[in-house]
């Protein structure tokens, strides 16, 4: 049986539960699955992101905290991502740090700030997730051509070809 969270975290969890509703007043949140459900609900409520940040900073379950941060990175402004990654223990920080970088690249592609040449230079170092998402966010035919030729998987290359056909 899991232990109850620290008193400080317990108080933050109760506050989060009040904001998002649907949780009993006497919930202990000893179970990581229950905390995950609460954190997920809080992520969908932008007004409580600062409170969620505080709670995750106190979360003793590193993989759980990493999962929350990984999800939150897509919901927070780009200039806040490093702060979110920084609250994670170093042992579970790598995935979220990579995702934060990927999101920055994705925003550059989506905004047209990254040329097809730059994509060609960098694509081999991109995750499958980033390659796939790049296809969905760009309207730049030259970028799509690069991905259609150099994407890591057949599925990614095919998605880029399909996106080119729809242009």
Domain of residue 119 covers 111-165
Q: Is the pTM of this model over 0.85?
A: yes
Q: What is the CA radius of gyration of the chain?
A: 19
Among the residue ranges 4-8, 83-87, 163-167, the one predicted with the least confidence is: 4-8
In a domain, 81, yes or no: yes
In a domain, 71, yes or no: yes
**pLDDT at residue 26 in the model:** 56
Are 71 and 118 contained in the same domain?
no
Q: Which residue matches tokens 């223990």?
A: 89
| Contact indicator for 87, 53 with CB cutoff of 8 Å | yes
In a domain, 88, yes or no: yes
Are 69 and 142 contained in the same domain?
no
Question: Quick check: 136 pLDDT over 90?
Answer: yes
| Residue after which a domain boundary falls, among 38, 62, 92 | 92
């Amino acid at each position: 049986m899991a232990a109850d969270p620290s008193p400080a975290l317990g108080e933050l969890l109760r506050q989060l539960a009040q904001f998002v509703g649907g949780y009993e007043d006497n919930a202990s949140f000893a179970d990581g699955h229950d905390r995950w459900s609460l954190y997920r609900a809080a992520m969908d409520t932008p007004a409580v992101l600062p409170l969620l940040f505080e709670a995750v900073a106190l979360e003793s379950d590193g993989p759980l905290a990493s999962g929350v941060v990984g999800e939150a990175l897509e919901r927070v402004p780009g200039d806040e991502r490093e702060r979110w990654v920084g609250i994670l223990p170093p042992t579970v920080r790598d995935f979220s740090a990579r995702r934060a970088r990927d999101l920055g690249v994705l925003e550059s592609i989506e905004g047209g700030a990254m040329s097809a040449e730059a994509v060609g230079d960098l694509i081999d170092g991109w995750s499958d997730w980033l390659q796939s998402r790049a296809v969905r966010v760009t309207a730049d035919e030259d970028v799509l051509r690069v991905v259609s030729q150099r994407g890591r998987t057949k599925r990614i290359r095919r998605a880029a070809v399909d996106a080119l056909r729809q242009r």
